[in-house]
Amino acid sequence: MSEHSYRRTQRTIEADIRHFFDHAKLSDNDPITSLAKPLVVAWKVYEMKKTGLTTVNKKLRHLSHFSSWCEAHDHLPTNPTRGLRVGARAERAGKMIRKAFSPEQLRLIVNALQVRRETARTKYLEQFYWVCVVVLFTGMRSRKHGTSVQPCGRG
Q: pLDDT tens digits for 33-88?
A: 778 888 888 998 888 888 877 888 899 999 999 999 988 998 888 888 888 877 76
Instruction: Report d(CA 110, CA 114) in Å as an integer.
Output: 6
Q: In sequence order, which ranges of the chain are alpha helices (DSSP H)?
A: 3-23, 37-50, 53-72, 88-96, 103-118, 123-138
The CA–CA distances, whole Å, from 32 to 70, 118, 129 equal 8, 67, 61
Q: What is the pTM of this model?
A: 0.54
- Residues present in the chain in total: 155
